Structure 1
């Protein structure tokens, strides 16, 4: 794989992660379980989620729609038609999502690798009435959700880095066969 192709992996990776997340949320909105019982939520919210509370169903539709937008934005960082989008807007979105997702995976927003390990090792005890559920959700978060959000965040960071390091006159999309840089790359 050539260097320009490797540099594009972040944008494509962010698009694939957004599509996977959006597909899961769409399935949940349509009534499928699709890992809903593994969502690391507080017990009362988890019960509402599993009972298909209208607010949760609506939130799944919104998240599925946001994921579609995420796919489009991620692809805009690597495809020639993305030059029509202001570069600063793409940079802001990419770096904001990278920061949020990496922080979520590490545990700065609760849970994450740090929170899960603290809970599973007993350093941060779970409530007695929900201890078994908390441990099960922490294991799922540690093995699935946190690594997924870390990967997704790193993909956004790679996409943002690629856009950041391209100079104004340099073709960000030079690695796309048969394309020329758009005059308004910024």
Structure 2
């Protein structure tokens, strides 16, 4: 039985690892690091503010680091005894919803993501001429790094939700 429980928890712990990594990166940005900051896909006007360390961007890094901590706690709540105090539907809705949004972001039906990046890189959706080279540069980074990261992260959130649903459905039947 114990080995079965361990197999049903891998996604939650892997989700914690990716969520923690993302949160640490945002914390590093809040503290002044510029690691991968210039590779974040965004509009050119926002990019200028971000690279100038505008107060709103620094605040957003702190907020995202805090959200990542909450995300780690949310994923842990699906596998820890203290998580049983939280409503099952709330945990399922949050974990599945976060996963779906991340997968949607990685596919990119609007903006960045696999589809949006491919459209920019193939010229089917050309960016404004004055930002064309920057747009292609960011699309390549998004295609190689951010979209796969968000796809894997979203898939882990969905797997966490599925394993939690399966585990709690089984334990409800057993009692």
Alpha-carbon separation, structure 1, partners of 2:137 and 2:113: 14
Higher helix share: 2
1:120 aligns with 121
CA RMSD, aligned part only?
1.7
Structure 2 gaps, min length 5: none
Q: Deviations over 1:120-151 (max 9, x none)?
A: 11111111111111111001100100011011
2:56 aligns with 55
1:162 aligns with 163
Cα shift at 1:168: 4.2
Matched residue count: 172
Alpha-carbon separation, structure 1, partners of 2:69 and 2:132: 36
Deviates more, 1:144-153 or 1:2-11: 2-11
SS in 1 for 2:123: coil
Distance change (3 Å), C-alpha of 1:108 and 1:6? farther
Alpha-carbon separation, structure 2, partners of 1:120 and 1:38: 16
Q: Contact 1:103–1:109 at 8 Å: present in 2 too? A: no
Q: Contact 1:97–1:156 at 8 Å: present in 2 too? A: yes
Q: Contact 1:9–1:155 at 8 Å: present in 2 too? A: no
Alpha-carbon separation, structure 2, partners of 1:70 and 1:143: 24
Alpha-carbon separation, structure 1, partners of 2:141 and 2:40: 8
Alpha-carbon separation, structure 1, partners of 2:53 and 2:155: 32
Cα shift at 1:6: 3.2
Cα shift at 1:109: 4.3
Cα shift at 1:169: 5.6
1:104 aligns with 105
Q: Contact 1:13–1:155 at 8 Å: present in 2 too? A: yes
Q: Deviations over 1:66-98 (max 9, x none)?
A: 000000111111222221222111101101101
Q: Contact 2:12–2:76 at 8 Å: present in 1 too? A: yes
Q: Contact 2:113–2:147 at 8 Å: present in 1 too? A: yes
Q: Contact 2:106–2:113 at 8 Å: present in 1 too? A: yes
Alpha-carbon separation, structure 1, partners of 2:168 and 2:70: 26
SS in 2 for 1:67: helix
Cα shift at 1:167: 4.8
Alpha-carbon separation, structure 2, partners of 1:64 and 1:140: 22
Structure 1 gaps, min length 5: 172-180
